[in-house]
Amino acid sequence: MTGTDTTAAPTRAEYCVVACAEAWRDAGEVLASPMGTVPMIGARLAKRTFAPDLLLTDGEALLIGDVPAIGAAPAIVEGWLPYRQHLALVTTGRRHVMMGASQLDRYGNQNISCIGDWERPRRQLLGVRGAPVNSLNNPTSYWVPRHSARVFVERVDMVCGVGHDRAAAAGPSATRYHRLPGVVTDLGVFDFETPDRGMRLRSLHPGVTVEQVREATGFALAVPEEVPYTRDPTAEELRLIREEIDPRGLRDREVRA
Amino acid sequence: MSKDKTMTAEEVVGRLRSGMTIGIGGWGSRRKPMALVRALLRSDVTDLTVVSYGGPDVGLLADAGRIRTLVTAFATLDSVPLEPHFVAARQRGAFELVELDEAMMMWGLTAAVHRLPFMPVRAGLASDVMTVNPSLRTVTSPYGDREELVAVPALRLDAALVHLNRADPHGNGQYLGPDPYFDDLFCEAAETAYVSCERIVDTSELLKDAGPQTLLLKRAFVDGVVEAPNGAHFTSCVPDYDRDEAFQRHYAEAARDPEAWREFTARFLSGDEDAYRAAVAAFHGEEA
């Protein structure tokens, strides 16, 4: 469902956009680093609405001073952030990244490197990239566009982004700035607000059941007695998403209706 | 007048030896010294340890069996997320991998530049980077905090290969795009460094249309300068040119299929750089 009809009911992709945007509520004057289309739309929506102080990049070395549509060039550049500065900025903590995950486990360990035995992987993926430095230094959330038991596994094959159990086992230098605010998927929103810091269902996107989430999760997920639904986008948020930030409907390619 | 360091890509490769540790500048599929990599592929130099923020440089060298050890945090073509040759080479166990985090690589190169044995970083702690690199050690802060941090070892290089927009004949190198990547670190961390560029200009021309902060490489750290127009192709070299997406797609598709890859190699990689340029021009003629 694309186009500029602002009266149609919110799609699943739009619930995901709003859930991602919420990750940056109250983040303050920090860099939002969204990876993936829906998080990128979410970060821009947050900046246009309740988080105007966020810094955003053009995906490369420029900090953009306006909020263009996805894929469009910025009209205003407000700063310079080449990779060397970006990697240094991570360690200041003034950044909240939302990364993808090929595998994610109960304690928030993330894998984007390879599947199978690391020595000779069954499926080589990207490599660790910046997941280790991100997860130990600045708030790190995750986005999974297709929630399945292949992604949500008991144990990841290679720990790239560090989860709660691993950070705790490594000691105070690992836990000092370690923060995993949450996970957004096409089925719902998750956090780690449990006594053992295991993953918990925080909200369901409308139309999704607890049973569906459990079936698509390869570990025992904490589920509270009452699970709320992910909040609705406001009319103004829907207008911004559909008309200004993602008029080409790229969100629907990442999350099917 | 300082010395003229201009040379050909073949002369650069002639100074490399099998078994060397070679750093390659750029990032992913951006401003890679591809003309130098292609010249390397035409040579017999092999058994290399390659340090790179990996793109098609890593893919091509891995496919050709030139890499003994790869030091990297990733390999990607950016608009194509997975580098197909890197993926295939890893899955058949074609080289030894030293998998480091992106920031660990930066600090490892920085340690080498500063002639330090290591740099202390938080990155890597608690992750499997520590597991898959059992030689990595931690270091305890001697101050009151007593923090235990990763000691990223210096990434000393025998040689560095980078591609910039402009350089003068003496090795002063200039980037005109938005990101220097880590090209200066690669050159300063290396015993010898070679820069290819889109155009060699007289020193007096360097700042005609650009500020002094674009002068990334100092000649004291550069041993050879190669004029290689389109020398980053098919990776990007803005503002001179963007990534050749159509060609990169063709590369990526061919790399996934042995028969198609044989055809690709015969068509694009069997001759010299002039032949490569002509074949790419013909490719775009067919595309149009």
Best CA proximity match to A82, nearest among A53, A54, A55, A59: A59
Within this chain, do residues B16 and B148 fall inside the same structural domain, yes or no?
no
Q: Quick check: helix, strand or coil at residue A106? A: coil
Asked, for residue B204, whether it belongs to a domain, the answer is yes
CB of A82 within 8 Å of a chain B CB? The answer is yes
Asked, for residue B229, whether it belongs to a domain, the answer is yes
Chain A residues whose CB is inside 8 A of the B75 CB are: 126-127
Asked, for residue A155, whether it belongs to a domain, the answer is yes
* Domain edge (last residue) among B109, B131, B153: B153
Asked, for residue A215, whether it belongs to a domain, the answer is yes
Residue B99 CA to residue B95 CA, distance in Å, equals 12
Q: Quick one: average pLDDT of A190-194?
A: 98
Asked, for residue B109, whether it belongs to a domain, the answer is no
Chain A residues whose CB is inside 8 A of the B129 CB are: 128, 132, 160
**Torsion sign across C-alpha atoms B56, B61, B64, B69:** negative
Within this chain, do residues B15 and B147 fall inside the same structural domain, yes or no?
no
State residue A255's pLDDT score: 97
Asked, for residue A2, whether it belongs to a domain, the answer is no
- Expressed as residue numbers, the domain containing B177 is 9-101+156-246
Residue B75 CA to residue B272 CA, distance in Å, equals 26
> What would the DSSP string read from start to end of B26-60?
SBTTBS--HHHHHHHHHS---SEEEEESBSHHHHH
Asked, for residue A3, whether it belongs to a domain, the answer is no
pLDDT tens digits along B52-98: 999 999 999 999 999 999 999 999 999 999 999 999 999 999 999 99
Best CA proximity match to B30, nearest among A86, A83, A113: A83
CB A81 within 8 A of CB A62: yes
CB A148 within 8 A of CB A155: no
Within this chain, do residues B124 and B165 fall inside the same structural domain, yes or no?
no
Asked, for residue A172, whether it belongs to a domain, the answer is yes
Asked, for residue B263, whether it belongs to a domain, the answer is no
The letter for the amino acid at A149 is A
CA distance B128 to chain A (A): 5
CB of A93 within 8 Å of a chain B CB? The answer is no
Within this chain, do residues B89 and B178 fall inside the same structural domain, yes or no?
yes
Q: Quick one: average pLDDT of A56-72?
A: 96
Within this chain, do residues B225 and B132 fall inside the same structural domain, yes or no?
no
CB of A85 within 8 Å of a chain B CB? The answer is no
Residue B83 CA to residue B77 CA, distance in Å, equals 6
Within this chain, do residues B141 and B232 fall inside the same structural domain, yes or no?
no
Asked, for residue A4, whether it belongs to a domain, the answer is no
Within this chain, do residues B176 and B229 fall inside the same structural domain, yes or no?
yes
Within this chain, do residues B52 and B131 fall inside the same structural domain, yes or no?
no
Chain B residues whose CB is inside 8 A of the A127 CB are: 54, 72-75, 99
CB A109 within 8 A of CB A165: yes
Asked, for residue B166, whether it belongs to a domain, the answer is yes
Share of chain B above pLDDT 90, in %: 98
Residue A98 CA to residue B151 CA, distance in Å, equals 27
Total tally of structural domains belonging to chain A: 1
> What residues of chain B, 109 to 128, have a C-beta less than 8 Å from chain A?
121-128
CB of A90 within 8 Å of a chain B CB? The answer is yes
Asked, for residue B257, whether it belongs to a domain, the answer is no
- Reported pTM: 0.97
- Expressed as residue numbers, the domain containing A195 is 12-254
Within this chain, do residues B68 and B15 fall inside the same structural domain, yes or no?
yes
State residue A1's pLDDT score: 45
CB of A126 within 8 Å of a chain B CB? The answer is yes
ipTM over 0.90? The verdict is yes
Total tally of structural domains belonging to chain B: 2
Within this chain, do residues B144 and B27 fall inside the same structural domain, yes or no?
no
Q: Quick check: helix, strand or coil at residue A8? A: coil
Q: Is residue A2 scored above 70 in pLDDT?
A: no
Asked, for residue B269, whether it belongs to a domain, the answer is no
Within this chain, do residues B69 and B162 fall inside the same structural domain, yes or no?
yes
Q: Is residue A3 scored above 80 in pLDDT?
A: no
Name residues whose C-beta falls within 8 Å of residue B209's C-beta, 6 or more positions apart in sequence. Answer: none
> What would the DSSP string read from start to end of B95-158?
SEEEE--HHHHHHHHHHHHTT-SEEEESTTTTSTHHHH-TT-EEEE-SSTT--EEEEEEP--EE
CB of A3 within 8 Å of a chain B CB? The answer is no
Share of chain B above pLDDT 70, in %: 99
Residue A32 CA to residue A19 CA, distance in Å, equals 15
Q: Is residue A203 scored above 80 in pLDDT?
A: yes
Best CA proximity match to A133, nearest among A105, A156, A99, A106: A99
CB B48 within 8 A of CB B62: no
Asked, for residue A6, whether it belongs to a domain, the answer is no
Asked, for residue A5, whether it belongs to a domain, the answer is no
Using a 10 angstrom Cβ sphere, with 0-12 exposed, 13-18 middle and 19 or more buried, the burial of residue A195 is: exposed
CB of B100 within 8 Å of a chain A CB? The answer is yes
Asked, for residue B190, whether it belongs to a domain, the answer is yes
CATH number at residue B56: 3.40.1080.10
CATH number at residue A53: 3.40.1080.10
CA distance A81 to chain B (A): 8
Cβ contact B125–A122 (<8 Å)? no
Within this chain, do residues B141 and B237 fall inside the same structural domain, yes or no?
no
